[in-house]
Amino acid sequence: MFFAIFLYQTFLLLMKIIHLFFIVILFFFSCGKGGNNPATINSIQEIIDDMSLPHEGKPSGVPSSYDWAVKPRVGMGNNPEKFAAFIAWGQLYEAAEKNPANNTRVEIKNIKAYYLSKKDQQWYLLQSATAVGGAFYTEDFVDNINKPSDARKEEGGSISVTAGKGYNYHFWTPFRSLLKKDDIGGIFTTIQARLILHDNAKPDDRATAKYLLSMGADYWLDLNAQWDNFRTNGDVGIGRFKYVKNEWRAFNMSTLSANELRANPPPLE
Of 261, 104, 81, nearest to 186 by C-alpha is 261
- Residue 31 pLDDT grade (very low, low, confident, very high; cuts 50, 70, 90): very low
- Mean pLDDT (the chain, rounded): 90
Given a cut of 70, whether residue 2 has pLDDT beyond it is no
Return the amino acid letter for 25. Answer: I
Q: What is the mean pLDDT of residues 108-121?
A: 98
Of 40, 34, 50, 32, nearest to 189 by C-alpha is 50
Given a cut of 50, whether residue 67 has pLDDT beyond it is yes
Given a cut of 80, whether residue 13 has pLDDT beyond it is no
- Residue 255 pLDDT grade (very low, low, confident, very high; cuts 50, 70, 90): very high
Report the alpha-carbon distance of residue 169 to residue 245 in Å, rounded: 17
- Residue 28 pLDDT grade (very low, low, confident, very high; cuts 50, 70, 90): very low
- Residue 10 pLDDT grade (very low, low, confident, very high; cuts 50, 70, 90): low
Provide the whole-model pTM.
0.85
> pLDDT, tens digit, for every residue of 205-238?
999 999 999 999 999 999 999 999 889 999 999 9
- Residue 8 pLDDT grade (very low, low, confident, very high; cuts 50, 70, 90): low
> pLDDT, tens digit, for every residue of 151-205?
999 999 999 999 999 999 999 999 999 999 999 999 999 999 999 999 999 999 9
Return the amino acid letter for 8. Answer: Y
Q: What is the mean pLDDT of residues 10-30?
A: 49
- Residue 250 pLDDT grade (very low, low, confident, very high; cuts 50, 70, 90): very high
- Answer for the pair 249, 191: CB distance below 8 angstroms, yes or no: no
| 86-101 residues labelled b (16+ CB within 10 A) or e (exposed) | bbbbbbbbbbeeebeb
Q: What is the mean pLDDT of residues 247-254?
A: 98
Q: Which of 27-31, 126-130, 244-248, 254-258 has the lowest mean pLDDT?
A: 27-31
